Structure 1
Amino acid sequence: MTPQIQSAADRLQDAIDTGRPCAPVRDLIGEHDIDAAYAVQEILAATRLDAGNKIVGRKIGLTSDSVRSQLGVSRPDFGSLFSDMSYATGEPVPLERLLQPRVEAEIAFVLKQDIDNPHASVTDVLRATDFVVAAIEIVDSRVDNWDIRIADTVADNASSGLYTLGCAPFSLNGLDLAQVGMVLEHEGEPVSVGSGAACMANPVVAVAWLAREVARRGTPLKAGEVVLSGALGPMVPVKAAGVYTARLDGLGEVQTVFTDDGGAR
């Protein structure tokens, strides 16, 4: 580990600890050094694990052309989901846990088998998936004003925050996730629309990409893990308390209820 990698981790950890966004870290590790960025991510993950958290899954970021365009990056990335990040549909989510939240609608995969194969295919993902549910990912950035490039977001756990899962599981049998339409509403008004095809052509393709990446890095997907497969449409900034509802064709709906009255857990 280089001093620059440790300095980048320290900068992001200070933002986490103080609740004050920091400057980008690409000046320390380089704008395009993906391996250095994942090394920073691993340091920050180790801190969370030492504090008693557990890794319960993974998230894929930057799978949508619209999101990559919003952030000025050109490739997907991944981060870890920790045991203190999950909320059920309709459960209050305290805004005080977040710095600069945005929301995006996704399809979450829950695995019943490990996928430990650096050459994993779509077939492997289909075979390993127990069920899918509608999800809202609450993305966040420790970098001030979301001034990020690929190295910044990778280092910052793929700009993860929290997530909300729907309660209705669906088998993949007979489902073509590319054809799933999505509408994300804020207080009943549509604020983002998209489809499964926006997520690397099909969310199953995105999960296969993730499976290969993490297996290659020695941390393969495990049975029981949740995988947030990526945005189906543009991200939406969250400015205040309120209700966001994602409706996914054939997969029901999921609701995130932001509150500003505390209740952090």
Structure 2
Amino acid sequence: MTTAPIVRTVEELRRHVRAWKAAGEMVGVVPTMGALHEGHLSLARRARKECERVITTIFVNPKQFNNPDDLKKYPRTEEADAALLATVPVDLIFAPQPEEVYPDGFITTVSVGGVSEPLEGRMRPGHFDGVATVVTKLFGMTMADRGYFGQKDWQQLQVVLRLVRDLNIPVHIVGCETIRETDGLAMSSRNVRLTPEGRAKAHVLYEAIMAAATDIRAGQSDRMAIREAAEAIRAAGFDRVEYIELRDAETLMPSDDPARARRMLAAAWLDGVRLIDNIPV
């Protein structure tokens, strides 16, 4: 099994991409911050099915961390990541240094209003500016035709969709289903930081919001169903529930209109690890 070449510079990356484009090949990109798991690989496999060429980017983006400790603790596992990507396989891994992405004098920020403001935007100020800025750069660097993102980060997916729509960026965005552990916990690079005891109860986050969604569909009030979900999560031993909200799936504004697609989104802390999840309602 041969690992894909790892390139560090935009110049080298574009040399590969220009050759592919000259041959009429479609290029897909899977942006990641590394510490890859089955969720990331599912995105790469989807890209592999739909594109002649697949690039996976591995870049721990300092601009989307509002906590310096979080940035420092974020796992860097490039060698293991490359081995996993060889199983797909992808054609190229783009793993630049921070100064390649943000050279001296870099002063531009891409900010998406509306969908970026509630929920994660409220809890993590500046986070989505960092996401929007790096995604815009990665699209420009890779010159990709299609971009693959997981639905686990539902709000991030809506930010990226709005970004490409508003700025006429010629990239088709593909949102892929959340990949879960056998007990329902959404796969995340953060899960490895849970203690064994925490990991044994982490699935309750998913179970509680699933139960709330079922109750809402059966006619229970949104507020009561959400309150019961929060109580179940706290009773399981979570440190705290940051939010559980029922929102319009596209705009992320509060919604009590069952005729529109809605999403229940949640964030809670366990073992000092922040877990997020979301499901359709």
Q: Quick check: which one's strand share is greater? A: 1
Q: Quick check: which one's helix share is greater? A: 2
The two structures have a TM-score, normalised by structure 1, of 0.26
Structure number with greater Rg is 2
Higher relative contact order (CA 8 A, sep 6+): 1
The two structures have a TM-score, normalised by structure 2, of 0.25
